[in-house]
Chain A
Amino acid sequence: MSETLLELRGVTRRFGGLAATDDVSFALAPGELVGLIGPNGAGKSTLFNLIAGALLPSAGTIRFEGEDVTALPAPARCARGIARTFQVVRSFDSMSVLENVVVGALARLANPRAARHKAHEILDFVDLASRAERPAGELTMADKRRLEVARALATEPRLLLLDEVMTGLTPSEAQRGIDLVRAIRKRGIAILMVEHVMEIVMPLVDRAIVLDLGRVLASGRPDALVRDPAVIGAYLGQRRSSSVGHAPGA
């Protein structure tokens, strides 16, 4: 069993003539907390979709826990232990908050009663238990994000892909979000998170990967990256630092 959880080699995804993801290679170790950053249009969401199986690469390979998962579609990747949230929240609005999480739990448990029990635990963990009965559509944005995370956690992933979960949150909501991410990490789940909000991402992650125009520009510890001239250059024209509440992009 290798020490690498996720490994991308030369992953490329073309749309027509344009390569949204271009020869991307990197690796994640189990339990790592890694940020994926880059200016708007860098291809972060495309990369997420490629890892999650919502898109298949035009070239390259993706290995998860030593297994080649490149050709597997999203449900099979979830079964292998990759879970994700969506940038635009996609809750099952005809169901309650609890039922939403049950859907996730059913990925591992065949019995709905056991799945409901587990869903309750997860809702406790993310602090949504008081909302369990409410229709999912009624939640606030911050709670909906939380629900997405809970749903993904219910599938017992070893890698969790978080797509801009902090965007558009107030400072106190963001703080709770950070606490949640840390708590998930303590459970031993590796996290790859896309974020725009530098003040949040940089202090949080072990290391970060910078994407620009679909390619990996740099990768390393956050304090080194913020001083890297190439990284700064990529962000010039966008902004040098962002503020909380910045609109989502890329």
Chain B
Amino acid sequence: MAPRLSDPAPIDAISGSAPVGGSAFRRRRRGEFVAAAAILLAAAALPLGIDSVYVENILVLTLMYAALSQSWNILCGYCGQISLGHALYFGIGAYATTLLLVKFGIPPWFGFVAGGILAALVALALGYPCFRLKGHYYTIATIVIAEIASILVLNWPWAGAAMGIQIPYAQPSWLAFQFGRSKIPYFYFVLALAAVTWLATWLIEDSKWGYWWRAVKDDPDAAESLGVVVFRSKMAAAALSAFFTAVAGGFYAEFVSYIDPDSVMNLQLSLLMALPAVLGGIGTLWGPALGAAIIVPLSELTRSYIGGSGKGTDLIVYGALVMVIVLLRPEGLASLLRRRPGAAVP
């Protein structure tokens, strides 16, 4: 079927048995999935052994940032368009969920989905003008757009303006997505969200879109010559990324029961969504989760134990740590776990 070049003349031969390493690839994929399932189960069992609300809070935040960073990774890690304005989608999710609940009495579950869809549509609409921008011009455009949105909401009385919106207390129930004092149900929701974003990434890695996105990231012109419609690829990645980010935003609104532009739409948040992926490894499967698992507890702990005095020591530690990790391991900490970046799909 496929004559070898070194054959003296093309022979009607079959090129050997099944592709070399084909089953090794499937084994690796299965291994990843099994590892993820095991981690999921272990994480699900965590609350049983933990009594402290403080620790539960850290766990929830860690998982949320894992989900956020994984979503960011889809557009920026795999597709290579570095957005530092993802707080826009987080804010859309937070505000959509909250406004639908507070103004129209619509349960948060619908709000999550509605916010996600709205964010995806916004991402598509923005993609049209923005994706023709390259490199830093694109990044700054994302920053600027998020800032505009934040400023607009700050001046929009119906949406609470600078005062923000408080979510009123409701009887604890899954429908109302409120649970009194317990953080455990929030933990399970956000664990599920993190798992879903991981799964989406895992599916992407071995999908047509995944290959195309990585090709676009490496060399858009070469990708085009192989039939990849770059623009459409980026739009799909943007919409998917925005959807999950917004769902997390809606979740966060319910979790803290109060939102304002400063807490759900600011630039710092955009940077914090990207940071775990950078530390853990952009464009890798485990990077964002690993990065979140390290940086979020660390940031919370330093803030609580060192930063309380307002002396900025927590910032010193945090900033130094980010620098050290990024410089020592540019490809991310996930590379310590297994294969080198860019290697081996058999």
Contacts and interface: CB of A to CB of B under 8 A. Distances in A.
A93 B342 contact: yes
B342 A135 contact: yes
A99 B345 contact: yes
Contact of B226 (A54, A107, A121, A124): A107
Given A52-B225, A92-B218, A102 B211 contact: yes
A137 interface: yes
A206 interface: no
A106 B224 CA distance: 12
Nearest to B345: A99
A132 B21 contact: yes
Given A52-B225, A74-B225, A90-B222, A125 B5 contact: yes
Given A90-B222, A112-B211, A120 B20 contact: yes
A94 B215 CA distance: 9
Contacts of A122: 2
B2 A103 contact: no
A186 interface: yes
Secondary structure at the B interface, as helix, strand, loop or mixed, is: loop
Contacts of A99: 211, 214, 345
Contacts of B226: 75, 78, 83, 103-104, 107, 151-152, 154-155
B224 A98 contact: no
A79 interface: yes
A54 B222 CA distance: 10
Q: How large is the interface on B (under 10, 10 to 19, 20 to 34, 35 or more residues)?
A: 35 or more
A132 to B, nearest CB: 7
Nearest to B215: A103
A96 B25 CA distance: 13
Nearest to A106: B208
Contacts of A112: 206-208, 211
B4 interface: yes
A207 interface: no
B5 A103 contact: no
A191 to B, nearest CB: 15
Contacts of A91: 218-219, 222
Given A86-B225, A124-B16, A110 B208 contact: yes
Interface string B318-346: 00000000000000000000001111111
A63 interface: no
A144 to B, nearest CB: 12
Contacts of B228: 75, 103, 107
Nearest to B25: A116
B224 A74 contact: yes
B277 to A, nearest CB: 15
A78 B207 CA distance: 20
Interface stretch (A20-28, A175-183, A235-243): A175-183
A: contact size bracket: 35 or more
Given A78-B227, A86-B222, A112-B208, A98 B346 contact: yes
A73 B230 CA distance: 11
A90 B226 CA distance: 12
A117 interface: yes
Given A94-B283, A106-B211, A120-B19, A133 B3 contact: no
A62 interface: no
B217 interface: yes
Interface in B196-213: 206-208, 211-212
Between A84, A94, A110, the greatest number of chain B beta carbons within 10 A of the residue's beta carbon is seen for A94
B345 A96 contact: yes
B49 interface: no
B303 to A, nearest CB: 35
Contact of A125 (B3, B211, B227): B3
Interface of A: 52, 54, 73-75, 78-79, 83-84, 86, 90-96, 98-99, 102-104, 106-107, 110, 112, 115-117, 120-122, 124-127, 129, 132-137, 151-152, 154-155, 176, 179-180, 183, 186
Interface of B: 1-6, 10, 15-16, 19-22, 25, 206-208, 211-212, 214-215, 217-219, 221-230, 283, 340-346
A-B pairs, top 4 by smallest CB distance, nearest first, are: A107-B227, A120-B19, A78-B227, A92-B218
20 contacts: A74-B224, A90-B222, A92-B223, A93-B218, A95-B214, A95-B218, A96-B344, A96-B345, A99-B345, A104-B227, A106-B211, A106-B227, A117-B19, A121-B15, A126-B5, A134-B343, A136-B342, A152-B225, A179-B5, A183-B10
Given A94-B341, A112-B207, 7 more contacts: A54-B221, A93-B342, A103-B212, A121-B15, A135-B343, A137-B342, A179-B5
